Amino acid sequence: MSLRIIATGGTFDKHYNPLDGSLGFGDSVLPEALARARLAEPYAFQSLMAIDSLDMNDDHRQQILSACKSAPEGRLVIVHGTDTMRDTAAVIAAARLDKTIVLTGAMIPYLIDGSDAMFNLGSAITAARLSPPGVWIAMHAQVFAWNEVHKNRAAGIFERTD
Amino acid sequence: MSLRIIATGGTFDKHYNPLDGSLGFGDSVLPEALARARLAEPYAFQSLMAIDSLDMNDDHRQQILSACKSAPEGRLVIVHGTDTMRDTAAVIAAARLDKTIVLTGAMIPYLIDGSDAMFNLGSAITAARLSPPGVWIAMHAQVFAWNEVHKNRAAGIFERTD
Amino acid sequence: MSLRIIATGGTFDKHYNPLDGSLGFGDSVLPEALARARLAEPYAFQSLMAIDSLDMNDDHRQQILSACKSAPEGRLVIVHGTDTMRDTAAVIAAARLDKTIVLTGAMIPYLIDGSDAMFNLGSAITAARLSPPGVWIAMHAQVFAWNEVHKNRAAGIFERTD
Amino acid sequence: MSLRIIATGGTFDKHYNPLDGSLGFGDSVLPEALARARLAEPYAFQSLMAIDSLDMNDDHRQQILSACKSAPEGRLVIVHGTDTMRDTAAVIAAARLDKTIVLTGAMIPYLIDGSDAMFNLGSAITAARLSPPGVWIAMHAQVFAWNEVHKNRAAGIFERTD
């Protein structure tokens, strides 16, 4: 029943670089976010990579799959970029692990005003606790089977695929 | 399947009053919090009362129960003070409504640095979508049956009652 | 003695666009920032343009100079991008207006965690009230004559030019 | 010409206590606030006390005066509660030190949404750099001689005394 949270980067974890005005990566914000969440039960945290999901290739996805396989926990939350969240979910789903795996992310970085990051994190950990084994995507407090959702880029939301 | 969020006050919704240095209530922060959450499906929002849960009496709890009964939605999230969340849950549970009702709150107000409010809100709405009819308390990404949880005041967390 | 604040864009005023992940411009944050500042005396606010200072050309600088000339106030604060703040200051200084004109900006946008925007705004308005006529640059609570300062890009600070 | 910032508590530095819902004191927020400010020149920081200014007595004020006397710097910023800022200023002024001493504070704590703390801090450090020796109060980007200002409690601002 125990829980692991895996950081892979994505919008959720982007930092502003004051030297060049870009958004990039630094130390993951997740340890701070999880401390704020006051989780009462123990959990493991793993910072696996810190990249934009548009820059993820098959090697990165195999690394994420390996982390899912080798995790001793039965419930995993993967914080991931939104653009290719479904592609990573497909790779994990193909392995048919007997674990509840929930991918989540954010439309606005944790460190930027108006962020949805804490909301989605609360949703994803809850989904990981309540959902049966399988691969799920939790965004905007909805929990989708990984192959029944797509990102609507024009609206900036995840929607059920008809 | 549709969703209603009911604000009743509590720590989640406290505002700082610069004139006297106290924490009190003003317009609910929930419309802003819900807009940040980018909920993709329609929901109803109702600001029912704005009080500290230590100031709630039986009349207030009957008002909350009435709101639960008269809501056309089958899934309700009640944002409530943490100190008497369980007392209100008991009143609602006694009515045996055929609805999924989730109470949540925050240990640190939404408007104060380090708040758990957005996290708990994401957790509670997710719990309302995934849980069967009944009365639940969602705090720190855990979903407790209302009568199996208590607030540990010394630790500042909700724990399962043995 | 009265005061005008002029927004021109720059890092101070950048917004995150959740649809494409870029930082750009929207409604200026300055009305909100100035409300927070609780300024006790009246002031005028003018949103003149909203651009990155690297995209500013001579036309933009002439527009800013015109705004300085036509302002009825004797004390002006211009919120500007940091990269070409000195170039704009040079154009204004050449006009030898009998006004106190203070340029300021931010290394981290107002809307991003850890921003210096409010600090620099407080510094710049104070400098506009205390300094004699001339063109000044206020950053990091230092007030530089416009031609005695440069941005140290590697360090992310403004420094006195030797 | 060098600068010392002295923390004494006050609204600026209040923390929320999630265990009892009160606002009180912990480690000063000033080191973080000063890091955000990116001050380019060296400064000293001293956390002298952490109390509500309504709880300050003559002993506290003598301690603050001692700190002002013994500081090797010529420019001091004292972060102080707003309610008795003027009383402390009077004690310091009576000592006729040959230093520029600026008191500031906040109407909303640094850690609460909408705070004026960073703005006032930027204002006060700037005032300390630009003002002649004497005791000053910097609030809302105005710099008052200490004996020409009072707090308007109903409006939540500092105003010039007629």
Q: Are A141 and A117 in contact (CB under 8 A)?
A: no
Mean pLDDT for C137-152 is 96
Place of tokens 């010394």: B154
Residue type, B75: R
Q: Write out the two tokens for A123.
A: 């949703």
Bridge-based pairing state of the strands A142-145 and A134-139: antiparallel
Share of chain C above pLDDT 90, in %: 97
Give which of B119, B140, B148, B160 to mutate to test A binding, by max A Cβ within 10 Å.
Answer: B119
How many angstroms separate the CA atoms of A92 and A134, rounded?
Answer: 9
Phi, psi (rounded to 5 degrees) for B41: -105, 155
Beta-carbon separation of D108 and B18 below 8 A: yes
pLDDT-wise least confident of B59-68, D81-90, D150-159: D150-159
Helix, coil or strand: residue B102:
strand
Going by C-alpha positions, the residue among D27, D66, D68, D76 that lies closest to residue D47 is: D27
Q: What is the mean pLDDT of chain C?
A: 96
What pLDDT does residue C108 have?
Answer: 98
Mean pLDDT of D123-146: 97
Whole-number pLDDT of residue A89: 98
C156–D contact, CB cutoff 8 A: yes
Chain C CA closest to residue A113: C111
Interface contact B18-D154, CB threshold 8 A: no
Q: Which chains touch B (3 or more CB pairs under 8 A)?
A: A, D
Mutate to test the interface with C, among A112, A139, A151 (most CBs of C within 10 A): A112
Instruction: Compute the distance between CA of residue B107 and CA of residue B80 in angstroms, rounded to an integer.
Output: 11
Give C16's contacts in chain A (Cβ within 8 Å): 108-109, 112
User: What pLDDT does residue A129 have?
Assistant: 97
* Beta strand pairing call for D100-104 and D134-139: parallel
Among B105-114, C57-66, C97-106, D36-45, whose mean pLDDT is lowest? D36-45
pLDDT value of residue C41: 86
Place of tokens 């493991």: A44
Task: Report which DSSP code applies to A85.
Answer: H
Distance CA B152, CA B136 (A): 17
Q: How confident is the model at residue D1, as a pLDDT?
A: 59
Report helix, strand or coil for B121: helix
Q: Which residues pair with B43 in a beta bridge?
A: B3
Mind listing the pLDDT tens digit for each residue in A110-122? 999 999 999 999 9
Phi first, then psi: what are they for A113, rounded to 5°? Answer: -50, 135
Write out chain A residues lying below 8 Å of B123, CB-based: 122-123, 125-126
CA A99 to chain centre: 15
CB contact under 8 A, B38 and A156: yes
Partner residue opposite C126 with nearest CB, options D38, D138, D159: D138
Residue C88: exposure state from Cβ atoms within 10 A (0-12, 13-18, ≥19): buried
Adjacent-strand bridge partners of C22: C17
What pLDDT band is residue A144 in, cutting at 50, 70 and 90? very high
- Taking the CA of residue B157 and the nearest CA in chain D, the distance in Å comes to 9
Whole-number Cα distances in Å, A126 to A65, A111, B121, C71? 22, 22, 11, 56
- Residues B40-47 have a mean pLDDT of 93
Beta bridge partners of B35: none
| Res A40: pLDDT | 82
Q: What is the widest separation between alpha-carbon atoms in chain B?
A: 45
**Cβ–Cβ under 8 Å, residues B128 and A123:** no
Residue D162 confidence class, pLDDT cut points 50, 70, 90: confident
Tell me the ipTM for this assembly: 0.97
CA C81 – CA C8 distance, rounded (Å):
8
Residue B22 has pLDDT above 80, yes or no: yes
Q: pLDDT category, C1, cuts 50, 70, 90?
A: low
pLDDT for res B1:
59
Distances (CA, A) of A80 to A95, C19, D149: 19, 16, 54
Strand partners, C78: C6, C103
- Give residue for tokens 């206590």: D17
- Residue A135 sits at φ, ψ, to 5 deg, of -115, 125
The residue in chain C having the minimum alpha-carbon distance to the alpha carbon of residue D158 is C40
Give percent above pLDDT 70 in chain C: 99
Structure confidence at residue C52 (pLDDT): 93
- Of A32-36, B114-118, B158-162, which range is least confident? B158-162
Contact C26, C15 (CB under 8 A): yes
- Buried-state track D22-55, b at ≥16 Cβ within 10 A, e below 16: ebebeebbbeebbebbbbeeebeeebbebbbbee
Residue A31: its H or E element? helix A30-37
User: Which amino acid makes up residue C124?
Assistant: A
The total of other beta-carbon atoms located within 10 Å of residue C121's CB is 29
Interacting residues of D128 by C-beta distance below 8 A, sequence separation 6+: D3, D75, D76, D77, D100, D101, D102
Please write the tens of the pLDDT for every residue from A43-58.
999 999 999 999 999 9
What tens digit of pLDDT does each residue of B76-90 get? 999 999 999 999 999
User: What's the pTM?
Assistant: 0.96
